[in-house]
């Protein structure tokens, strides 16, 4: 999001369907139920790109995340939103995104329908959006899964809840091969 711009965010109902829109500032202030994307990026070695959110983020500032993503804009399709967000946040573009999960997340800070995607085998450069990311690294999947069990690791809680189970399943299936 550009500084000073109050994006119009898609609101969602409890059945996971679009039902209107509101300015981002209202969505955050009133914790309105909306939709967001989460894109896990794996490199050719199967490592997960983990980044730390800037301290200026409106939700979960300064915490680590295992995916790029963000709110869906009014009228935006989840697939298009995922493509937009991973390109904006990490500079990942021109590759297919595979849907990997849907779910609902709710806490005192945010309430949303989640649309999860995977970029697999990324070999390009990672380019951070400076307003959103202030550190990042490729971390082996097994190490990320081990950190999921560490309550002291400051991972954003929505990714821990929504993406964590997918990462665990992926690690299990990788170790079986």
- The pLDDT of residue 63: 97
Residue 131, domain member (yes or no): yes
Residue 149, domain member (yes or no): yes
- The pLDDT of residue 6: 86
Q: How far apart are CA 141 and CA 127, in angstroms?
A: 21
Residue 12, domain member (yes or no): yes
How large is the greatest C-alpha to C-alpha distance in the chain, in angstroms? 49
Q: Which residues of the chain have pLDDT under 50?
A: 1-3
Nearest Cα residue to 36 out of 100, 92, 102: 102
- The pLDDT of residue 1: 45
133-139/48-53 β-pairing: antiparallel
- The pLDDT of residue 176: 59
Residues across the chain: 177
Instruction: Kindly state the helix (H) or strand (E) to which residue 35 belongs, with its residue range.
Output: strand 34-43
Residue 2, domain member (yes or no): no
Considering its fold, how many domains does the chain have in total? 1
User: What confidence tens digit (pLDDT) does each residue in 88-120 have?
Assistant: 999 999 999 999 999 999 999 999 999 999 999
Residue 1, domain member (yes or no): no
Residue 120, domain member (yes or no): yes
Residue 29, domain member (yes or no): yes
- The pLDDT of residue 22: 97
- Angle ∠(86,10,1) on CA atoms, nearest 5: 45
CATH number at residue 59: 3.90.79.10
Residue 16, domain member (yes or no): yes
Nearest Cα residue to 64 out of 52, 54, 49: 52
- The pLDDT of residue 43: 98
Domain that holds residue 84: 8-172
- The pLDDT of residue 125: 96
């Amino acid at each position: 999001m550009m500084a000073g711009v109050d994006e119009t965010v898609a609101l969602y109902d409890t059945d996971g369907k679009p039902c209107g829109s509101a300015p981002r500032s209202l969505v955050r202030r009133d914790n309105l139920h909306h939709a967001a994307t989460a894109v896990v990026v794996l490199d050719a070695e199967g490592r997960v790109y983990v980044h730390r959110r800037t301290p200026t983020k409106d939700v979960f500032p300064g915490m680590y995340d295992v995916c790029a993503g963000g709110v869906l804009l009014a009228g935006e399709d989840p697939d298009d939103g995922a493509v937009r967000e991973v390109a904006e946040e990490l500079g990942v573009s021109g590759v297919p995104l595979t849907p990997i999960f849907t779910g609902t997340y709710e806490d005192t800070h945010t309430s949303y329908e989640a649309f999860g995607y995977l970029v697999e085998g990324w070999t390009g450069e990672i380019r951070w959006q400076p307003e959103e990311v202030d550190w990042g690294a490729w971390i082996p999947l097994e190490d990320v899964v081990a950190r999921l069990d560490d309550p002291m690791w400051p991972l954003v809680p929505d990714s821990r809840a929504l993406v964590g189970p997918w990462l665990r399943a992926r690690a299990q299936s990788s170790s079986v091969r």
